[in-house]
Amino acid sequence: MKVVCILGARPNFIKHYAFQKACRSKGLECIAVHTGQHSDVDMSDIFFRQLGLDPPAYLDRLERLTPARDLGRKMVFIEDAIKCESPALVVVYGDVASTRAGALAASGLGVPVAHVEAGVRAGNMSNPEELNRRIAELCAHTLFPNIESARSNLLAEGFPEDDIFLTGDIMMDSLLAVRNAHGIEPSNGDYVLVTLHRAENTDDPTRLSAICETLMAGSRNIRFPVHPRTRAALECTDLWGRLLACGHIDLMPPQGYVETVRLIAGAERVLSDSGGVRREAYIFGKPVVSLIELIWVPEMIEAGWEFVAGADTERIRYGLETFTPPPGRPDIFGDGGAAHRMVDILLERYGGEAKRQYGS
C-alpha cells in the first residue's frame, strides 16, 4: 500500500520521523511531498539528515506570496504529486498551512485523508493553526486525536465515532525514539529553556517586548533557540541587540531535533509558546510555562504542570521564578506506540484498495 505524506514545516518532519519508521517496519510505502514551507538548512534539511528521513520525492521552493496565492500554490503542487503517485491515502500532520493545503488537495481528488493530531482545539478561530486544523478535519476520513480531550472535541462536533482513533501522541514516539537512540536522560539543569515563535507574539510588538523585557530583567540563565520569524521581528527593534548583550541569556540559532531534545531534557523548566515543545517538556517532567493563552492540552493544566503566563509580565516572572507543579504527573500522551497503531489502522482501512487513478 502506498501513502503520500504531506510535509511543510519543522513539527511535520519530527512527527514524520515516527510515522516513516512505523511504515518501514510494516512494509508500507511512504512518499514524502514537501511544500518547502520551511526550507532552509536549520528549519528543514537538518531534520532529514538527523532523523534519516527519506528525501522528499516532491519538493517545492518557498516563495513569499499572499495567503490565497500561497494556499493555491501548495494545493496545485500537492495535487500534481498525488496524481503522479495514485496513493491509497494521504496523511497530513498537525496544523500548519501545508496540512490545510494537503487535505484540501487530496479531498478534491477523492483521495482519503488521514489527519494526525486531530481534534485539538483552543477555541480561538483567529489563530491560524486552529483554522488549518479544522479545515483538515472536515476533509479527513480517518482522524487520529493524540489526547483524550481532542477525541472528546471531535465527538462533540459530530465527527463519526467510527472514524476516530485515539492512538497517543506521535510526537511522544519521536521524542522517546531520539532519547533512546542518543542515551538522553532528563536531568535538573541550571538553565531555563525558552522558545517563542507564534505569530500572536512575534507580530505584536507589545507582547514581544513584554516577554523579552521580563526575561532580560530576571537573573535566571536562559537558553533561547530563536526561530527565524522571531529573529526577524526582534531585529526590527533594539531588542535583538539587547538580548545578545544580556549576560544571562544565550541566544542560539534554531537547533536540530537531537540538540533540542537534549536542551529540554537538561532544563530546569521550559517557557514556550510552541505546542510541541510544551508537550515534550511535560513528558520529560519539566514545569511548563506557556507564553501564549492558547490552551491545546487542558490535561496539562488540570494536572498542575502547565502555568499559562501569556505575555503578562507578572505572570511570566512567577512562571520563571516560582511556579512549582505538584508531585505526580499523569500519562497524557500515550506510550510511544502511536505511529504503529496508526499504520495498523490504515492498513486495515485502506490496505485492500486497488491502485486508483485520480482526476483527469
By CB under 6 A, tell whether 336 contacts ligand UDP: no
In the complex, the smallest distance separating the C-beta of residue 264 from ligand UDP, rounded to whole angstroms, is 7
Report the residue number, 140 or 196, with the smaller CB distance to ligand UDP: 196
Least Å distance, CB 272 to ligand UDP, is 7
Work out how close the CB of 273 gets to ligand UDP at its nearest, in angstroms, rounded to a whole number.
Answer: 7
* DSSP element (H, E) containing 142: strand 142-144
Binders of ligand UDP among 207-226, rule CB under 6 A? 225
Contact with ligand UDP (CB under 6 A): which of 274, 292, 306, 346? 274
Q: Which residues contact 154 (CB under 8 A, 6 or more apart)?
A: 118, 119, 137, 143, 145, 164
Nearer to ligand UDP by C-beta: 87 or 225?
225
**53 or 81: whose CB is closer to ligand UDP?**
53
Q: How many CB atoms lie within 10 A of CB 297?
A: 25
Look up cell 486495515; give the residue. 348
For the CB of residue 83, give the shortest distance to ligand UDP in the complex, in Å.
29
Pull the grid cell for residue 278.
510544551
Give one DSSP letter per residue of 11-64, joined into a string. Answer: HHHHHHHHHHHHHHHTT-EEEEEE--SS-SIIIIIHHHHHHTPPPPSEE-----
* Cβ nearer to ligand UDP, comparing 261 with 316: 261
What angle in degrees, to the nearest 10, is found between the helix axes of 10-25 and 338-350? 70
Site string for ligand UDP, 248-267 (x = CB under 6 A): ------xx-x--x-------
- HEC profile for 92-122? EECCCHHHHHHHHHHHHCCCCEEEECCCCCC
Quick one: which segment of 8-16, 66-74, 212-220, 282-290 binds ligand UDP (CB under 6 A)? 8-16
Which residue among the candidates 34, 38, 115, 197 is catalytic per the annotation?
A: 197
Q: Based on the shown chain and the rule CB under 6 A, indicate whether residue 275 belongs to the binding site for ligand UDP.
A: yes
Is 16 catalytic? The answer is: no
Helix, strand and coil percent figures for the chain, each rounded to 5: 50, 15, 40
Using CB under 6 A as the binding rule, whether residue 195 contacts ligand UDP is answered as yes
Q: Measured between alpha carbons, how far apart are the two ends of the chain, in Å?
A: 22
What minimum distance in Å lies between the beta carbon of 107 and ligand UDP?
A: 23
Choose which of 5, 7, 11, 350 interacts with ligand UDP (CB under 6 A): 11
Closest CA to 56 of 8, 2, 115, 112: 8
Q: Which residues pair with 113 in a beta bridge?
A: 90
Question: What is the radius of gyration, based on Cα positions, of the chain?
Answer: 20
Stretch that binds ligand UDP, among 6-14, 72-80, 145-153, 292-300 (CB under 6 A): 6-14
Minimum distance, C-beta of residue 254 to ligand UDP, in the bound complex (Å): 4
Site string for ligand UDP, 132-171 (x = CB under 6 A): ----------------------------------------
Size of the site for ligand UDP (CB under 6 A): 15
| Helix or strand run (H / E) with residue 215 | helix 205-217
When asked if residue 277 is in the footprint of ligand UDP (CB under 6 A), the reply is yes
Residues 6+ apart with CB under 8 A from 252: 223, 224, 225, 226
Footprint on this chain of ligand UDP (rule: CB under 6 A) = 10-11, 14, 195, 197, 225, 254-255, 257, 260, 274-277, 280
Q: Which residues are catalytic?
A: 197
